[in-house]
């Protein structure tokens, strides 16, 4: 993993009053986020809450409307290449060059990241073996399943051993074995002092993997902390993350109402 000049007590990802507007739509509103070395920060929120926008803004793909961002001490708007060289990124929908094979694609990524063949060999071999990619390593990516494409994207994100991992729904399409491997991989990364920003809407995953969770809703960070801290915030000891989440986002009663309406729709003929 690349060593940074900052100390271990400085956040690897930091945003302050980060706001992003798309026309009149406010996607992110004054988001303050700090992810420390060794931390797996789960960004939790319903669809359209602003998780992907947060990750893309941190990566420098989107320019903030206001506020600032620092990744390993660098501002993505001013030093995009320094930031990108310190980040491993997996997109929600893995987009890679479809006509290349995983081997060609990974060689391309490693080359752009200026890693020599030997340095990347071990990581690629271990991960490709772990993900059972033997039959797919020389097939065009276009012919691979969503899960297999996700595995290619995961390997590409780790090839340069970055200090920061930005994972946007990284378990999309993965089977149980691969999901477990990814979760372990993320933990090892954090153990080695890396920081992970992990976006998901699957509560169990966040509960299992993340050391700290931020709940984002309509572009705002409405709660943050460990699972226990979040439980105490809603005064529900022993509740699951899903229950905490629904309570915090005020969606609990809405879910009950929707469920009742659906039940009526499903069983209408039988009651008539």
Q: Which residues are near other proteins by CB under 8 A?
A: 20-23, 25, 59-63, 65, 77, 80-82, 84-85, 87, 89, 91, 95-101, 103-104, 106-117, 120-121, 124-125, 128-129, 133-140, 142-143, 153
Q: Which residue, 12 or 96, is less far from other proteins as judged by CB?
A: 96
- Closest approach, Cβ 132 to other proteins, in A, equals 11
- Closest approach, Cβ 253 to other proteins, in A, equals 31
DSSP states of 161-222: --SEEEEESTTTT--HHHHHHHHHHHHHHHHTT-EEEEEES-HHHHHHH-SEEEEEETTEEE
Q: Which residue, 97 or 188, is less far from other proteins as judged by CB?
A: 97
Q: What is residue 252's three-state secondary structure?
A: helix
Q: Which residue, 84 or 247, is less far from other proteins as judged by CB?
A: 84
Question: Which parts of the chain fold into alpha helices (H)?
Answer: 51-59, 80-85, 102-112, 117-130, 146-158, 176-191, 203-209, 227-233, 241-248, 252-271
- Closest approach, Cβ 55 to other proteins, in A, equals 10
Dihedral angle of Cα 158, 160, 166, 171, to the nearest 10 degrees: -10
Distance separating alpha carbons of residues 110 and 114, to the nearest angstrom = 6
Q: Which residue, 194 or 206, is less far from other proteins as judged by CB?
A: 194
Distance separating alpha carbons of residues 49 and 169, to the nearest angstrom = 14
Distance separating alpha carbons of residues 101 and 142, to the nearest angstrom = 8
Q: Which residue, 117 or 253, is less far from other proteins as judged by CB?
A: 117
- Closest approach, Cβ 65 to other proteins, in A, equals 6
- Closest approach, Cβ 21 to other proteins, in A, equals 6
């Amino acid at each position: 993993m690349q060593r940074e000049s900052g100390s271990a007590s400085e956040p690897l990802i930091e945003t302050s009053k980060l706001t992003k507007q798309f026309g009149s739509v406010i996607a992110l509103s004054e988001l303050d986020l700090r992810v420390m070395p060794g931390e797996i920060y789960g960004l939790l929120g319903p669809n359209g809450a602003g998780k992907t926008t947060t990750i893309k803004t941190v990566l420098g793909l989107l320019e903030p409307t206001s506020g600032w961002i620092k990744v390993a001490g660098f501002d993505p708007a001013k030093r995009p290449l320094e930031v990108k060289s310190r980040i491993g990124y997996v997109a929600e929908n893995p987009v890679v060059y479809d006509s290349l094979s995983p081997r060609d694609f990974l060689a391309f990524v490693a080359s752009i990241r200026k890693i020599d063949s030997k340095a990347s060999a071990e990581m690629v071999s271990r991960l490709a073996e772990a993900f059972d990619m033997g039959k797919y390593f020389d097939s065009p990516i276009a012919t691979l399943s969503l899960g297999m494409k996700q595995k290619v994207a995961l390997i590409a994100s780790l090839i340069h051993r970055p200090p920061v991992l930005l994972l946007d729904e990284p378990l999309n399409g993965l089977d149980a074995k691969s999901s477990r491997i990814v979760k372990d991989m993320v933990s090892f990364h954090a153990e080695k002092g890396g920081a992970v920003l992990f976006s998901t809407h699957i509560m169990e995953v966040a509960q299992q993997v993340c050391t700290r969770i931020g709940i984002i809703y309509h572009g705002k960070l409405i709660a943050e902390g460990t699972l226990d801290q979040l439980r105490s915030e809603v005064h529900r000891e022993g509740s699951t993350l899903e229950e905490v989440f629904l309570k915090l986002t005020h969606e609990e009663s809405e879910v009950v109402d929707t469920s009742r309406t659906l039940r009526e729709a499903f069983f209408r003929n039988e009651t008539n």
